[in-house]
Amino acid sequence: MGINLKQMDRVLKYRWTVFIILALAYFFVYFHRVSTAVVASDIMSTFGVGAASVGLLGSAYFYAYTAMQLPSGILTDSWGVKKTAAVFTMVAAAGAILSGIATSFNMILVGRLLIGTGVAMVYIPVMKVLAIWFKKNEFASMSGVLLAIGNIGALSAAAPLAIAAAMLGDWQRVFLLLGVFSVLLAVAIWMLVKDSPEDMGCPSIAEIEAFEARVEYIPPKSIEKIPMGAALKQTFGAGMKFWPISIWFFFMYGSLMVYQGLWAGPFFRDVLGWDKASYAGILSFIAIGMIFGCPIAGYLSDKVLKSRKKVLLMGTAIYIVLWGVIWSQAGNISSAMAYTTIHFLFGFFGGFFVVSYAQVKEWFPASIVGTAVGAYNIFPFLGGAIFMTLTGKMMNVADGATATVGQYKSVWLLMLVCMILAFLSLLVSKEKGQEEAYPTPSENPEPSTTASSSKD
């Protein structure tokens, strides 16, 4: 059985078209995630609402996003990548347009829910694209690149969004334009994205890997179709392959959101007396650290250590040390440069979590990888929601009051303890063997399949 070299080359080139289009959609996932904070004061003045309403508006995204993770996996496996991503990018576009034309707070709240629902259906399809269109030893690296693009989106929702709103004279016009662009992006996804190389009449990535590794490619007897109930049972019933790393992610991302997404800013205000202009730029170094850390972690996993678990353990260990510094030195460090360094490293090693998706997906067949990753992705957002609520009760600070350094240290200590538990959970997690995850060349220097010279 031969392999068409021209078709193989077409796959290896066209996959970048698929990735770039969906990565652009993922850019807006992070953009929308943090955009509310930038225009919060504008929303309050436009609609005459208070901080509590803006808080509700910000949380609407996360509630919708969390609720849609499992449906995202199921629909990605049943509908396919193209249909799922295109339809729900259009839903996000509708939400952005509604936000842009809203004349009441309730309208913009509905718009925010639509945005959260729509962008929630982007990450899992991209993960399936990486599983189907990219080689096994490229998955973690490409996941890191994707997360870096997302964090660039988050940075773009800060100063660039404020500048755009000032230039256009109205923050709502920015969202209206984003909505129109998202419509065009949804159309591009529908027209250009393919669910698999086979949809183009080309060899699969598995076949290409076998050819390049000089091993015989044995095609599956039939395309495995697993019913939704069986897919969920297989995922949640995977035991040590699924649950320890899911528990780790619950604590890991929960602690990250407690610091970056909630209490770091108030800490600098209450304890160090800094204003927003002073600490906002310093906090941005967490995202900058992730922009570098995510792809580097993927490269280490794919090309250097060839292990998911070793990279995760290394990143988690250093992340714990940083939490120890944040807790033990709270109130003692007042240097902006010191906190800039701490935050960069915090984001850099915190971003190593991206490799965990590769560890999870390698245990499941391609036909349910969307469901498996969707189920896994519930845990980080659930951790963020629970720990934000819990630490809010721990702080117990009235509106306008200033929290003490002791209160913040209690929260930091809780996060440190939780991360130690996370590390122990990660230790007992199971990684697929290297010999299973990475094909190795055979003794025969020639491929067992011969190249075909037929035209495309």
CB 357 within 8 Å of CB 297: no
Return the structure tokens found at 202: 């080309």
Residue 270 is predicted with a pLDDT of 87
Neighbours of 213 (CB within 10 A): 16
Residue ranges in the chain whose pLDDT is less than 50: 1, 435, 437-456
Task: Give the domains, in start order, of the chain with CATH numbers.
Answer: 10-198 (1.20.1250.20), 228-432 (1.20.1250.20)
pLDDT for 444 equals 37
How much is the pLDDT for 213?
72
Residue recorded with tokens 């690296």: 141
Please, what sign has the CA dihedral across residues 255, 346, 426, 422?
Answer: negative
- pLDDT of 217 reads 62
pLDDT in the model for residue 87: 97
> What predicted TM-score, i.e. pTM, was given to this entire model?
0.77
Residue 453 class from Cβ within 10 Å (0-12 exposed, 13-18 middle, 19+ buried)?
Answer: exposed
Show Cβ contacts of residue 25 under 8 Å, excluding neighbours closer than 6 positions: 85, 89, 119, 122, 126, 185, 189
The pLDDT of residue 399 is: 56
pLDDT of residue 218: 62
What angle, 0 to 180 degrees and rounded to 10, lies between the N-to-C axes of helices 105-119 and 51-67?
Answer: 30
* pLDDT value for 402: 79
Model pLDDT for residues 142-201, shown as the tens digit of each residue: 988 998 999 898 888 767 887 888 888 888 999 999 999 999 999 999 999 999 998 988
pLDDT at 441: 41
pLDDT of residue 439: 45
Rounded to an integer, what distance in angstroms lies between the CA atom of residue 367 and that of residue 356?
19
Please report the pLDDT score of residue 26 as a whole number.
94
Other CB atoms within a 10 A radius of the CB of residue 454 amount to 10
Alpha-carbon distance of 89 to 92, in angstroms, equals: 5
Q: At what angle do helices 123-133 and 81-101 cross, to 10 degrees?
A: 150
Give the pLDDT of residue 58: 72
DSSP state of 332: T
Q: Which amino acid is at 363?
A: W
